Amino acid sequence: MVTGEPERVLDPVGRFNRRRVIDTLRIAGRMARVELTAATGLSPATVTAITAELLRAGVIEETAAEPALEGAEEVEVRRGRPRVALQLRPDAAYVAGVKISMHQIAVTVTNFTGDLLGSEIIEARASRRPAAEVADWLETALRQGVASAGVRLSDIQGVGMALPGFIDGEAGVCHWSPVFEEPLTPFAELMSVRLGRPVFIDNDANLATLAEQWFGAGKGIPNFVVVTIEHGVGMGAVIGGRLLRGARGFGAEFGHTKIQRSGALCRCGQRGCIEAYLADYAILREASTRAPVEGVSDPVLAHQAWRRLLEAAHAGDMGMREIYARAGEILGVGLANLINVFGPELVTLTGAGVAASPFFEPAMREALALNTLSASADQAPVIIRPNADSVWAHGAAALVLERLDFPLAS
């Protein structure tokens, strides 16, 4: 977290247990204290102290209980106490999440329980631009999004930002991103100073994964993988319930794994990367071999060109269909490799690129079947999720909710 506010000194053990109570309530929805004790593994005295503190701070609230656990209810009834449950107070905090891609910026605002209060999308040509310029667009988009959610920026407890590229979220530093001109940008600090709010940044595919874990198909699944097809090809992995960050903090990198020696040339300068067959630039490159494609140097025009090619495939263009089918085959081999090394329970595919799934999915599934081990008969299902940038931005908001601590900064 990078913020202009003075740091508050908090007991780290206390914070850890407080976090545990909040996260348990978030997943359960509502729980009686006795259930909370069982679910957190904390002592009854600790749970009583923490919940009292959180009630005082307005972070949680008491509510009429529904019986969630049979046994727990019986205990309460035997003791003759009125049955009261605890839940997070939705208005305890507001946070914002932002997704920056090369042709647009998506903003969402959520309350403390992660419910969407509003979302906005603005067009922006964020391709190798000065960080200060991207920051301008972001601030405009954010102020617009926050206003349309009926919240004041000063009420936002933190902003999460999803960026493509190599992001060290812990340090708040962008090591490289296609949206920035500068190779190294301390972007969390830059935005935090500008907005006067705490700002957290992370790789966009990681936040798409967090969105899947908090709100989507990954809910409650300890091991799953998310693959994103956009301007680049990204991934995130949840292992044992936690996002894989790796030693460098950059998370998992799938787009530049190689599945073909001396294969297609990739923007990274290497050959045979999955991205060199699958990313939007790879599709435009193949299509331009058949007929000139306009505007590939501008990210907004390139995205429009990509959409026109997809429309051509829908209209029956067999050449375009063949291009997507080949991309699908490569994707299938890549997914098979991921399934082999991670052994996930689920793989989800998302990103703007899944709009082309009617044309790549059959070849993808065939390659997947041909390249996973027969021993994995009960192989991880691969599902395609409809994409919306607001979902990624929702994941960016979840990143803030995951890191908020109490008492809140004001």
Q: Is 154 in the site for a copy of itself (CB under 8 A)?
A: no
* Cα separation values, 394 from 15, 142, 163, 189, 253, Å: 24, 13, 13, 21, 22
Measured CA to CA in angstroms, residue 324 lies from 216, 225, 264 at distances of 27, 22, 15
Per rule CB under 8 A, is residue 338 in the interface with a copy of itself? Answer: yes
Residue 406 binds a copy of itself (CB under 8 A): no
Instruction: Please name the amino acid found at residue 213.
Output: Q
Rg (C-alpha) for the chain, rounded Å, is 23
Near a copy of itself by CB under 8 A: residue from 26, 125, 128, 256:
256
Residue count at the site for a copy of itself (CB under 8 A)? Answer: 48
Give yes or no for residue 160 binding a copy of itself (CB under 8 A): no
Residue whose CB is less far from a copy of itself, 58 or 186: 186
Q: Which of 19, 128, 143, 175 binds a copy of itself (CB under 8 A)?
A: 175
Structure tokens at 263: 């294969």
Q: How far is the C-alpha of 230 from the C-alpha of 389, rounded, in Å?
A: 11
Stretch that binds a copy of itself, among 142-150, 191-199, 301-309, 334-342 (CB under 8 A): 334-342
Tell the smallest beta-carbon distance from residue 360 to a copy of itself (Å).
16
- Footprint on residues 17-46 left by a copy of itself (CB under 8 A): 41
Provide φ and ψ at 172, rounded to 5°.
Answer: 75, 25
Tell me if 341 contacts a copy of itself by CB under 8 A: yes
Interatomic CA distance for residues 167 and 238, integer angstroms: 17
Q: Considering only residues 140, 223, 288, 304, which one is a binding residue for a copy of itself as defined by CB under 8 A?
A: 223
Q: Closer to a copy of itself by CB, 119 or 209: give it.
A: 209
Q: How far is the CB of 294 from a copy of itself (least distance, A)?
A: 31
Please measure the distance between the N-terminal and C-terminal CA atoms of the chain and give it in whole angstroms.
15
Instruction: Look at residues 172, 277, 195, 288 and name the one whose alpha carbon lies nearest to residue 232.
Output: 277
Residue 322 within binding range of a copy of itself, rule CB under 8 A: no
- Tell me whether residue 393 is exposed, middle or buried, using C-beta atoms within 10 angstroms of its C-beta: 0 to 12, 13 to 18, 19 or more: buried
From the CB of residue 131, how many other CB atoms can be counted at a distance below 10 Å? Answer: 20
Q: Looking at 211-350, which runs of residues are DSSP E strands?
A: 224-229, 233-239, 242-243, 346-350
Decide: is 118 part of the binding site for a copy of itself (CB under 8 A): no
Shortest Å, Cβ 223 to a copy of itself: 5
Return d(Cα 128, Cα 126) in angstroms, integer: 6
Check binding of 244 to a copy of itself (CB under 8 A): yes
- List the strands of the sheet with 30-32, edge to edge: 30-32, 84-88, 60-64
| Binding letters toward a copy of itself, positions 270-299, x by CB under 8 A | x-----------------------------
> x/- contact string, 364-403, with a copy of itself (CB under 8 A)?
------xx-xxxx-x-x-----------------------
Q: Interface with a copy of itself includes 344 (CB under 8 A)?
A: yes
Closest to a copy of itself by CB, 87 vs 257, is: 257
Q: Reading across the β-sheet that carries 233-239, which strands appear in turn? A: 242-243, 233-239, 224-229, 346-350, 382-384
Among 180, 200, 215, 250, binds a copy of itself (CB under 8 A): 250
Residue 75 or 369: the one with the smaller Cβ distance to a copy of itself is: 369
User: What minimum distance in Å lies between the beta carbon of 177 and a copy of itself?
Assistant: 11
Residue from 9, 64, 247, 315 that binds a copy of itself (CB under 8 A)?
247
Q: List Cβ neighbours of 100 (8 Å cut-off, separation of 6 or more).
A: 124, 126, 134, 138, 161, 162, 163, 164, 179, 204
For residue 379, what are the CA distances in angstroms to 127, 163, 212, 366?
A: 39, 31, 20, 14
Residues at the site binding a copy of itself, with contacts judged by CB under 8 A: 13, 41, 166, 175-176, 223, 235, 237, 239-240, 242, 244-248, 250-254, 256-261, 268-270, 333, 336-338, 340-345, 370-371, 373-376, 378, 380
